[in-house]
Amino acid sequence: MRKHQTDKRIFIATFILVLIGTIMVSIIGPSYTNIQNIAYGRNDDPNQTFKSQILYVFLAFVTMIFFLRLPLKQVEGEGGKHKKILNMTSKLPEILMFGSLILCLIMYISSLTVELPFVRCALGACRWLNLGIFQLQAAELVKFGALFYFAKICTEYREKGGFSGKKEHMTSRGDGVLRNTKYSYQNKTRLADAKKQKGKVGELTSEIRDILTKTEGRVFWLKYFSTLGVAVFFLVVAQKDLGSALPLIAMALAMLLVSGARLKYFLIIGAAGMVLAVLALSSPHRQERLKGFLQGDSSNAYHINNALIAIGSGGLFGVGIGNNVQTAGYLPESITDSMFAVIGETIGFVGISVVLFFYYMLLSRILKVADCTKESYYQMITIGIFAWLAGHVVVNIAAMIGLVPLTGITLPLLSKGGTSLILNMAIIGLALNISQYTMRADLTDAERK
């Protein structure tokens, strides 16, 4: 597959969303900092929030460019002089996944015993690594590791015909397109069976094939369910972070769906989801949130009520810059979880429509890249990127308009944040990189390199 230009619409949508978010932080940041100073007796610079966001945006774009320029074919390993790179990176998904889980385990132990100097805890949960001038959220690292790990194991199992019994290339719509199976494991065994089907050797080969297939299946599902279960446990129970667990589950399910897994496995995941719901509701503060959402009690639904007031008061064109009322101490987490409501109040329905349009552009183009990607591993990664971002967008906006209880999940590219913004830009840079190797018939010769 010849390399061509990146999908420009992904970059344009990303740039505009980050720009809108940065502008909103510059507008709301001073009042947010002043409120924090009054509440906690601090004397921080009112512009500190905006300054830190500028630093995060700079680091995020640098990270995006790094992943955009990353030589995928070299990392993937095609032999030759890049063999050392392959040896170094072949276990990278496992290192990222299990390294982040070990980090979560250390932080969980810290919350139960003695708080470690490099761990920051708040409200009974240890979620952040304190790196001096920068704080790293462990949940984001878990999602980042899960993106590569689940993509790898789903690709390997699908390439062996584990999901459908034949080697396929599944598009993002889920319709299988048969690949050349001349050198596939299944085709080799079928040729062997055809030649030896009348003899004992053929029967033995068939039995061995069935045993290997069943063994590989058990190993795959053990890896899948155990890793997902441990990750969700650390996020929901240990770190009390249900919001981060939802996009993680969305990623894992999306990859499984595109791989062509059977319905019974989704039923198993559904049963596990019910267990997850019970664990989530075991926390008193989540019970209060759910009670406030269902009953509309003013004391328990304070956040949602003020978010709805902010969106409603914005009207068609908003109250204008500097005229916000809800952000003056009424709307909690105004520059993080509640950014969608802040945009609604400031620039109204028109502003919200613009934001939703660029989210649609971003997500639809990422899905298009997945649909046109030839390499199974890259396709899985792109599907995971889509599910990651879409999960954040849908859950956050649904909470702000009162459709679901609050989960504390941020709005990608718009909300203030360090780790989340940088990793969101990293996966978008990876999607841009993969878009250079898609099967696009609409490209002219001038667009190809």
| Predicted confidence pLDDT, tens digits, the chain (449 residues) | 567 788 899 999 999 999 999 998 888 877 777 777 776 677 777 788 888 889 999 999 999 999 998 887 655 544 444 444 434 456 788 888 888 888 888 877 777 776 677 777 665 567 777 776 677 788 888 899 999 999 988 888 887 776 665 544 444 444 443 333 333 444 444 445 555 554 544 554 554 455 555 677 788 888 888 888 888 887 777 777 777 788 888 898 899 888 877 777 777 777 777 776 666 666 666 666 666 656 555 555 777 888 888 888 888 888 887 777 777 667 777 788 888 888 988 888 999 999 999 999 999 999 999 888 888 888 999 999 999 999 999 999 998 888 877 777 889 999 887 888 999 999 999 999 998 887 755 555 555 45
Q: Is the dihedral of CA 113, 114, 115, 116 positive or negative?
A: negative
Q: Is 112 domain-assigned?
A: no
Burial of 378 (0-12, 13-18, 19+ CB in 10 A): buried
The Cα 55–Cα 50 span in angstroms is: 9
Token code pair at residue 206:
């068939």
Token code pair at residue 244:
């981060």
Token code pair at residue 3:
């390399």
Looking up tokens 């460019």, which residue turns up?
65
Q: How far apart are the first and last CA of the chain?
A: 11
DSSP state of 193: H
Question: Among candidates 428, 444, 441, which has minimal Cα distance to 66?
Answer: 428
The 10 Å CB-count burial string (b at 16+, else e) for 264-295 is ebeeebeeeeeebeebbeebeebeebbebbee
Provide the pLDDT for residue 372.
87
- Whole-model pTM: value is 0.80
**Cβ contact 33:328 at 8 Å:** no
Provide the pLDDT for residue 122.
64
Amino acid letter at 70? L
**Cβ contact 399:405 at 8 Å:** yes
β-pair type (125-130, 135-137): antiparallel
Q: Is 273 domain-assigned?
A: no
Q: How many structural domains compose the chain?
A: 1
The Cα 75–Cα 300 span in angstroms is: 50
**C-alpha pair distances (Å), 398 with each of 51, 179, 307, 361, 389:** 30, 40, 11, 19, 14
**Cβ contact 291:297 at 8 Å:** yes
β-pair type (168-170, 135-137): unpaired
Looking up tokens 């916000």, which residue turns up?
324
Provide the pLDDT for residue 129.
78
Domain range spanning residue 421? Answer: 8-90+283-447
Burial of 254 (0-12, 13-18, 19+ CB in 10 A): buried
Q: Is 384 domain-assigned?
A: yes
Amino acid letter at 322? G
Provide the pLDDT for residue 361.
95
**C-alpha pair distances (Å), 41 with each of 99, 111, 285:** 38, 26, 25
How many C-beta atoms surround the C-beta of residue 203 within 10 A? Answer: 13
**Cβ contact 49:30 at 8 Å:** yes
Token code pair at residue 37:
């100073």
**Cβ contact 410:351 at 8 Å:** no
Non-local CB neighbours of 47 within 8 Å, separated by 6+ positions: 29, 30, 33
Q: Is 243 domain-assigned?
A: no
Q: Is 182 domain-assigned?
A: no
Amino acid letter at 245? A
Helix (H) or strand (E) holding 437: none
Question: Among candidates 393, 319, 396, 389, which has minimal Cα distance to 356?
Answer: 393
Q: Is 393 domain-assigned?
A: yes
Token code pair at residue 421:
């913004």
Count of residues making up the chain = 449
Q: Can you say how many angstroms the Cα of residue 16 is from the centroid of all Cα atoms in its chain?
A: 20
Provide the pLDDT for residue 333.
75
How many C-beta atoms surround the C-beta of residue 117 within 10 A? Answer: 8
The Cα 419–Cα 423 span in angstroms is: 6
Provide the pLDDT for residue 86.
39
DSSP state of 14: H
Q: Is 114 domain-assigned?
A: no
Enumerate the H helices of 234-338 as residue ranges: 242-259, 263-281, 284-295, 302-314
Q: Is 29 domain-assigned?
A: yes
The Cα 433–Cα 445 span in angstroms is: 19
